[in-house]
Chains A and B, each alone.
Chain A
């Protein structure tokens, strides 16, 4: 009944989809974390008005489904004159989504830094920017690194929805293959396992990066 060998002729379709998913994940993980870091700093230390603006952004994104955000950006924005390709819309939607979640995560890390560290840095003559980048950021990130890893993986898994605006990612490949050979179950099982592998790979890579970045602290 089950026949996985029917999938073999479509190896390159799956591979292409996998590459697109990886590419999008890499790009948006970097962009999203940068956005999240910026927003977290603003939310924590910024002007009260900008603090409120960031809080509104975070709540709005966290309390609406990703697919609706994606549809709003891809279908909605062109009607007010902002034309976007599926690829551009995807990058924007994923970045905005990860940005909001990572803002909350990173802010928790910043909150965790004892006040004494700020005071000590001030006594040493460091200004705000120096304290933030040289004293506060590293331990703050170390603290929330596992949570950030999980969130990046969740966003990667969420990227399956991009197939709905015809981005040719892994899910798109699965749909294409099952529409050709009518092997829906096999096609989706294989794809699901590929996502699982990707999630495990991400966890591994993040752990490796974390080990290097926070290595000097472990030596202490």
Chain B
């Protein structure tokens, strides 16, 4: 049997951490893009569009992320779409992230007084102008803190990709555990690395919240 020192364990975990970071970034960027589209759909005030977005949010917030991953990975390949673990992880995390972000942003846009829309109307601004010059500059400020806060959930969500066999931090942890038989140490390291990734984001979110709360 190969001997693993603490440093060997940590070094291998850190290599896998790169994939966790990459997956988080990909999911967050993808989720932001999809959520932007969904928010645009919602802002059209078309009842059908609003219905669709509502259903989308309900569907992805009301089912476990793990189930979404299984569906993307095993489900899609069963009905004829070949997809890698990496692809399935990005796809499901993107859908999951966007469903939460669109709901967070909805709250941010809705907190602005309705009078602002009406006032802009009176000033002769059309819908897009109102959005661009009045609503979005304020809404983005409010949205910043909860969006950063949600990124913690995305990082933690990537841990589920281990279940469909994508080798990121958690999967590397289980593999190292199988090799070293030191679960206590290995999973403590894994937890600490996640903490090191997530805690700064949490702090940043808290800081932003304070900053913009005071400014308003």
- Which of B33-41, B70-78, B111-119 sits within the interface? B70-78
A191 at the binding interface (Cβ < 8 Å): yes
Which residues of the other chain, B, contact A195 by a CB distance below 8 angstroms?
62-64, 67
Most chain B CB atoms below 10 A, which of A79, A189, A193: A79
A185 at the binding interface (Cβ < 8 Å): yes
Q: How far is the CA of A161 from the CA of B190 in the complex (A)?
A: 17
Interface of B is mostly: helix
B54 at the binding interface (Cβ < 8 Å): no
Interface footprint category on B:
35 or more
Which residues of the other chain, A, contact B71 by a CB distance below 8 angstroms?
185, 188-189, 192
- Contact A188 B199, CB 8 Å, known A71-B173, A157-B65, A196-B62: no
B101 at the binding interface (Cβ < 8 Å): no
Chain A residues numbered 153-204 whose CB sits less than 8 Å from any CB in chain B: 153, 157-161, 163-164, 171, 174-175, 178, 182-185, 188-189, 191-193, 195-196, 199-200
Question: Is B187 touching A158 in the complex (CB atoms < 8 A)?
Answer: no
Question: Is B194 touching A63 in the complex (CB atoms < 8 A)?
Answer: yes
Which residues of the other chain, A, contact B80 by a CB distance below 8 angstroms?
1
A65 at the binding interface (Cβ < 8 Å): yes
Query: In the complex, what's the smallest C-beta–C-beta distance from A83 to chain B, in angstroms?
Result: 13
Q: Which B residues lie at the A interface, using CB under 8 A?
A: 58-59, 61-68, 70-71, 74-80, 152, 156-160, 162-163, 170, 173-174, 177, 182-184, 186-188, 190-191, 194-195, 198-199, 202
CB-defined A-B contacts under 8 Å, sample of 16: A59-B202, A63-B199, A65-B157, A65-B158, A65-B160, A67-B163, A68-B194, A71-B173, A79-B182, A185-B75, A185-B79, A189-B71, A192-B63, A196-B58, A196-B62, A196-B63
